Chains A and B, each alone.
Chain A
């Protein structure tokens, strides 16, 4: 079955939604009533005349002070084609240089010439007097490639109005993607190392659904930061005046080299935009330790040990060769995990949680309030002596092609103490009962003041060790599920994000008068189900979550998270 998608906001036309007054009641009718209205994006940009800016709602769009979010069409960073095809270009040049290395050396130092080059294509060209033509042809090819690069850059435009973000690209195959700003799930800025050298950054506006994100790659670094601020301000429902009054990008124009150096050294969180210091610091020691003691590393080591035993027993060194790729893979994995976790920072901004990390290639993710569908605190067995926890989240934007990216984006806190984790949780789920969670996360369970309802004694057949930790607590606006004895886990699901709730029983559970419950959220790495609960407890859970979810969804205004602030 295909994943049921949240509303396909990318094809929704902005003209349809004018009444900003009741944001909660908009946008679903089309999805429910059947096929979307005529928004065939392809037809719109079919002709080249679509290049002319045609602001649809120039009246509705109060101009912002910054350059990019003004509703006009803009182009990307001029180096975009180079940055996108950059690796391939470098590879080709490198290939040519290594192949012609000898010729270069001999060209300058003819006395070392000792080989016979007859039959060599270069020799052939020189001998036939075709060198000029060969160079001309090469130049021609280069010019054509550059021309097409330039053309694709010219045809790649985007605009951001008060309501939507829209991207048009392609020369022959035109594509046009339009997304509603009030539906954004996050803003992601990525600076791959190569692009950083050019001062460029990739901005991604996350939308619910598979591969529904709007990518703007590449932009100038400071423009990307300004654009993120504007996009979030527009999406938040804050008053335009307030958005426009936000600090503009730094005006001083330092020299080019100086600017690059400054950008490379700048902290990942712009101090002017992040409200506070990063609430968690990860020392390199802790990061390396946590990666080394993670389950991924351990499983690879176990495989290696197995291979070693096999080769010892059989006396065949074949297994050693089998281990080589695994070792290489482990090495890359470790280095990737560690370098990407370096310079980790997390802070609360008024537009939600901001997570940044990366040493050479940096990444910066903003999660507005109400975009976290479930949160998992987890602690593997080997992390327990150090008291480390990791936080993962389920979010509505997914990538079907890039599993690794999916994984890193769901990891909000790679490693931290329980205090760190609770600080991050407080930023993500404002106003939730942090004290209870902090107390319960690492507790054995079953204490007299345990706020969790755990499995009854008769469930020990099914939960040998974790019975006393296997339970739930209904906190205000959050459902908390706790499970696991070796691998401790605490899952928090905000009630306004609950899609549905189920209660299940098989013959075995029925014989034991037990039942399992499952809170359904958008798909992600976290499963929010808990089994082997007492019948009556499960029933109570089901009833309370079912009614609580309806109530919480009705009261929820995180959709336009700053609209209340703007109204007051």
Chain B
């Protein structure tokens, strides 16, 4: 059996996030790689032994792996608007597919970080009464994010239920 069975239902119209978000994420990872690798060299400054560089090498390696996988990871983030619920899936190694009925949405956040803003992207966050729902859609073009938010709010309003 291939991957299509679980977490990749095919008959639904899926939307991806903007390819520009790959660049945003790469920059973010690169910055974090710089900071953490630099921080991990502190032992080396203190004792000046070559093996004291091992922690920073490890940190760098982890970040490189993340960098290499980033394009695939970002492309795997998909969402679909079904008749009564929103589907969000993400992940290549660890896949996760969530279905949230529109009526369950308590609020929708639109966040924009500095790098994402430079690329004209926004992040959408859906909050339900359950903390574990944790639904995040990064890397949407700003207008698309605003439209989607308005649409989801309208959908949620027409299907509103209690807790």
* A→B interface (CB under 8 Å): 1, 3-7, 24-29, 31-33, 208, 370, 373, 396, 496-497, 499-507, 510, 513, 515, 518, 520-523, 535-536, 538-539, 542, 545-547, 549-550, 553-554, 556, 558-559
Is B106 on the interface with A (CB-CB < 8 A)?
A: yes
Is B15 on the interface with A (CB-CB < 8 A)?
A: no
A370 touches B162 (CB 8 A): yes
Nearest A residue to B103, CB-CB: A553
B5's partner among A497, A506, A520, A535 (CB-CB below 8 A) is: A535
Across the interface, which residues of B come within 8 angstroms of A497, CB to CB?
Answer: 163
Is B94 on the interface with A (CB-CB < 8 A)?
A: yes
Is B56 on the interface with A (CB-CB < 8 A)?
A: no
Is B129 on the interface with A (CB-CB < 8 A)?
A: yes
B131 touches A500 (CB 8 A): no
A4 touches B131 (CB 8 A): yes
B130's partner among A499, A539, A542 (CB-CB below 8 A) is: A499
Q: How large is the interface on B (under 10, 10 to 19, 20 to 34, 35 or more residues)?
A: 35 or more
Across the interface, which residues of A come within 8 angstroms of B99, CB to CB?
Answer: 500-502, 542, 545-546
B42-50, B65-73, B152-160 - interface stretch: B152-160
A500's partner among B100, B157, B159, B163 (CB-CB below 8 A) is: B100
Is B57 on the interface with A (CB-CB < 8 A)?
A: no
Nearest A residue to B5, CB-CB: A535
Q: Which of B1, B100, B131, B132 has the most CB of A within 10 A?
A: B132
Complex Cα–Cα for A547 and B84 (A) = 8
B153's partner among A6, A32, A523, A542 (CB-CB below 8 A) is: A32
Report if A31-B133 is in contact (Cβ < 8 Å); known contacts: A499-B128, A542-B97, A554-B159. Answer: no
Across the interface, which residues of B come within 8 angstroms of A550, CB to CB?
Answer: 84-85, 101, 103, 159
Least CB distance, B103 to chain A, in whole angstroms: 6
B6 touches A535 (CB 8 A): yes
Report if A503-B6 is in contact (Cβ < 8 Å); known contacts: A4-B127, A208-B129, A523-B131. Answer: yes
B101 touches A549 (CB 8 A): yes
Q: A4-B106, A513-B1, A522-B129 are in contact. List 16 more A-B contacts (CB 8 A).
A: A1-B131, A24-B162, A27-B160, A28-B157, A32-B156, A396-B129, A499-B129, A499-B133, A500-B99, A500-B100, A501-B99, A515-B7, A520-B132, A538-B6, A550-B159, A553-B103
Across the interface, which residues of A come within 8 angstroms of B135, CB to CB?
Answer: 500
Least CB distance, A112 to chain B, in whole angstroms: 67
Report if A502-B96 is in contact (Cβ < 8 Å); known contacts: A7-B106, A535-B1, A549-B101. Answer: yes
B97 touches A503 (CB 8 A): yes
Least CB distance, A147 to chain B, in whole angstroms: 44
Report if A502-B97 is in contact (Cβ < 8 Å); known contacts: A3-B131, A4-B106, A24-B160. Answer: yes
B133 touches A515 (CB 8 A): no
Across the interface, which residues of B come within 8 angstroms of A33, CB to CB?
Answer: 153
Is B118 on the interface with A (CB-CB < 8 A)?
A: no
Nearest B residue to A396, CB-CB: B163
A499 touches B5 (CB 8 A): no
Across the interface, which residues of A come within 8 angstroms of B10, CB to CB?
Answer: none
Report if A515-B6 is in contact (Cβ < 8 Å); known contacts: A6-B129, A500-B130, A505-B94. Answer: yes
* B→A interface (CB under 8 Å): 1, 3, 5-7, 9, 84-85, 93-101, 103-108, 127-135, 153, 156-157, 159-163
Across the interface, which residues of B come within 8 angstroms of A538, CB to CB?
Answer: 6
Nearest A residue to B83, CB-CB: A550
The 3 A-B residue pairs with the shortest CB-CB distance in the complex, in nearest-first order: A499-B130, A4-B127, A520-B130
Complex Cα–Cα for A538 and B99 (A) = 13
Complex Cα–Cα for A26 and B100 (A) = 20
A208's partner among B1, B3, B132, B163 (CB-CB below 8 A) is: B163
Nearest B residue to A533, CB-CB: B6
Report if A506-B107 is in contact (Cβ < 8 Å); known contacts: A500-B130, A523-B130, A535-B6. Answer: no
Complex Cα–Cα for A3 and B103 (A) = 19
Complex Cα–Cα for A150 and B14 (A) = 65
Question: Could you name 28 residue pairs across A and B whose Cβ atoms are closer than 8 Å?
Answer: A1-B134, A4-B107, A4-B127, A4-B131, A24-B162, A25-B160, A26-B160, A28-B157, A32-B107, A33-B153, A499-B104, A500-B101, A500-B104, A502-B97, A503-B96, A503-B97, A506-B93, A518-B132, A520-B128, A538-B6, A539-B5, A545-B99, A546-B101, A549-B101, A549-B104, A550-B101, A550-B103, A553-B162
Complex Cα–Cα for A542 and B85 (A) = 12
Across the interface, which residues of A come within 8 angstroms of B162, CB to CB?
Answer: 24, 370, 553, 556, 558-559
Least CB distance, B31 to chain A, in whole angstroms: 22
Across the interface, which residues of B come within 8 angstroms of A396, CB to CB?
Answer: 129, 163
Across the interface, which residues of A come within 8 angstroms of B153, CB to CB?
Answer: 32-33
Across the interface, which residues of A come within 8 angstroms of B105, CB to CB?
Answer: 32
Across the interface, which residues of B come within 8 angstroms of A24, CB to CB?
Answer: 160-162
A500 touches B96 (CB 8 A): no
B130 touches A501 (CB 8 A): no
Across the interface, which residues of B come within 8 angstroms of A553, CB to CB?
Answer: 101, 103-104, 161-162
B133 touches A32 (CB 8 A): no
Across the interface, which residues of B come within 8 angstroms of A5, CB to CB?
Answer: 106, 129
A31 touches B107 (CB 8 A): yes
Across the interface, which residues of B come within 8 angstroms of A496, CB to CB?
Answer: 161
Least CB distance, A354 to chain B, in whole angstroms: 21
Across the interface, which residues of B come within 8 angstroms of A502, CB to CB?
Answer: 96-99, 133
A32 touches B108 (CB 8 A): yes
Complex Cα–Cα for A510 and B6 (A) = 9
Across the interface, which residues of B come within 8 angstroms of A518, CB to CB?
Answer: 132
Least CB distance, B123 to chain A, in whole angstroms: 14
